[in-house]
Structure 1
Amino acid sequence: MTAARLLLPLTLSLLAACAQQQPSNVTLQQSQQDECPLDLHSGQQLTLTLASNPTTGFRWEVKDAAPGVLRSLGPEVYSNPEDAGLVGSAGQSTWRFQATNPGDGRLLLLYHRPWEVDVAPAKTFDCHISVK
């Protein structure tokens, strides 16, 4: 009987600890840029997805990837919705990062035509990242 009494508070403590645990993967899209600055914990993964259409010549360029606090988990991955069925239709570009070290950084991407050097980018994604 004593073991059962001890088991209940222990179970409740474990459930409370799990409820406070941070998700292992944070997903962010361009429409969610107002959620920046973004607070991450070391070890969390960040998936960033931005609308893209490289057939127009426009590309997302990573200008600042928050070095020291984020580590890239691979190159940009472009995907086109399969149901669109249209050549040249828009898709999305996705990047994955992992929060590595405590500190602050800036995740800055520019959507532009790389050969147009004196033209302002068509879109910008700018997010302050804080890793704890």
Structure 2
Amino acid sequence: MATWRIFPVLLFCGFLAACAGTGEKAVEKPEPLTLEFAQSGGRFILMQGEEVRIRLAANHSTGYRWSMVNEAPGVEVLSLAEEPAYTAEGTMPGRGGTEVWHFRATGTGPTILYFVYRRPFEPNGPAAREAIYSFEIR
């Protein structure tokens, strides 16, 4: 009489094991390449569809902002994936923070991302800092 009670339990365990082992694995999206100001001047290779984040120190309380200057001719191969985001370091007034620019490789070929750090109300003034990143999108 104990045999007929064990059979449904074994059958159920076999069914669960078969469902769990379908062989399908979730495809994880790779983490974006993250570049800092110190890597400015570097050359980087991305595959079409990959993403890159550029993290630049900033202090919006001084009026300075990073802006992108598009000087690369030809078809755009890196597209802005999200609006740039600024995060302050703490709640004290005057503290600096970080601007993050997020791009996605949408084409193939070479391109340059050129950023300048200046006050938007002084568009012809000299840039306080510059950052340039070269990419080859394959």
TM more than 0.5: yes
User: Displaced runs of 4+ in structure 1, greater than 3 A?
Assistant: none
Unaligned runs of 5+ in 2: 1-29
Q: CA offset at residue 65 of structure 1?
A: 8.2
Question: 1:76 and 1:69 mapped to 2: Cα distance?
Answer: 18
DSSP-derived class of the 2:54 partner: strand
Q: Does 1:55 align with 2:55?
A: no
Equivalent in the alignment of 2:115: 109
Unaligned runs of 5+ in 1: 1-22
Q: Which amino acid aligns with 2:115?
A: L
| Structure with max Cα Rg | 2
Question: 2:113 and 2:135 mapped to 1: Cα distance?
Answer: 7
RMSD of equivalent CA atoms = 1.8
Deviations 1:23-46 (A, max 9, x none): 552000101224x11111111110
TM-score for the superposition, normalised by structure 1: 0.74
Percent same amino acid among aligned pairs? 28
TM-score for the superposition, normalised by structure 2: 0.71
Equivalent in the alignment of 1:11: none
Q: Which amino acid aligns with 2:102?
A: R
Specify which of 100, 114, 128 is matched with residue 106 of structure 2. 100
Q: Which amino acid aligns with 2:78?
A: L
